[in-house]
Amino acid sequence: MNYAVGLDKMARMGAFVALLAVLLAACGDEATAVPEPTPTAATQPTATTAPTATATRVPEPTVIPTATPTTEPTPRPTTNLTDAIKAEVKATVLQFGQALGTADAELLASLFLQSEKTNSFSTSEPLRINGWSEVQGSFKGLLSLPPGSVSLVPRQGRIDLLGNDAALWTGHFILNVRPPEESPQSVNGRFTSVLQKADGKWLIVHMHTSALPE
C-alpha cells in the first residue's frame, strides 16, 4: 500500500515536471521566434569593459519615435566609444609583439581564438595554415628561442572597427631574430590581423604577413 502511495506521489511530481518542461519549451520557442533587438551604442558589450570615464561620457543615442519602419543600419559607436574600443584592440595587438619578444607561449595562446576557424598566411609558409593548433605550431620556432631573441616592431599600425564584434589591424613591421650563435635575421613586411570579440575579449582569428615585394 505504501508502495502504491509512493508511486502516486512520484506520478504527481513527474506530471508537474513534465508541465514545467512544456512551459519552458514553449518559452524557448517564443524566444527564438522573436527577432533580436538591434543593438545600440549604449548596449555594446564593449562599453562595460571600456574605461568607465570614457564610457560615461558617451551620449545616449536619441530615439526618435517613427510610425514607419526604418531600414537604417546598426548605429555605429560614437567617436569616444570608438576610441575606447580601438584602445582595447590596440592593447591586444601590442601584446602579440610582447609575447614573441619574451618567448611567452602562454601569452601568445591567450591572444588567439582557439578554434578551427583561426587561420593564417605567414612570410615563410606558402599555403594557408588552418586551425588554431596549426597556427600555434607555426610560432614554435620563434617561441623556442631565448627571451629577447625576437623583436617585432610594428609601424604605421592602423585599427579599423568592423561592426561591433570585429576589428582589423594592418600595418608594416620589422621582425628581428637573433638566434644564439647564429647570424641575426631581419624581415621587413606588411601585416593584416583580423580580431573578433569573443566572451568580451578581442582575439586574433586571422593573420596575413608578407615580406615587402622586391
Contact (CB, 8 A) for 96 and 61: no
Give the binding range for other proteins (CB under 8 A) out of 61-69, 88-96, 136-144, 169-177.
169-177
Grid coordinates standing for 174?
A: 620589422
Would you give the binding string for other proteins spanning residues 172-211, x where CB under 8 A is met? x-----------------x-x-x-xx-------xx-x-xx
Residue 156 contacts other proteins per CB under 8 A: yes
Please identify which residue in 123, 138, 151, 176 interacts with other proteins, judged by CB under 8 A.
123
Cα–Cα separations (whole angstroms), residue 157 to 61, 73, 126, 183: 30, 28, 24, 28
Minimum separation from the CB atom of position 89 to other proteins (A): 13
DSSP string, 17-33: HHHHHHHHHHHHHHHHH
13-32 positions binding other proteins, by CB under 8 A: 14-15, 17-18, 21-22, 24-25, 28-29, 32
User: Closer CB to other proteins, residue 144 or residue 188?
Assistant: 188
69 binds other proteins (CB under 8 A): no
Q: Supply 213's cell numbers.
A: 615585394
Among residues 95, 78, 90, 81, the alpha carbon closest in space to that of 49 is found at 81
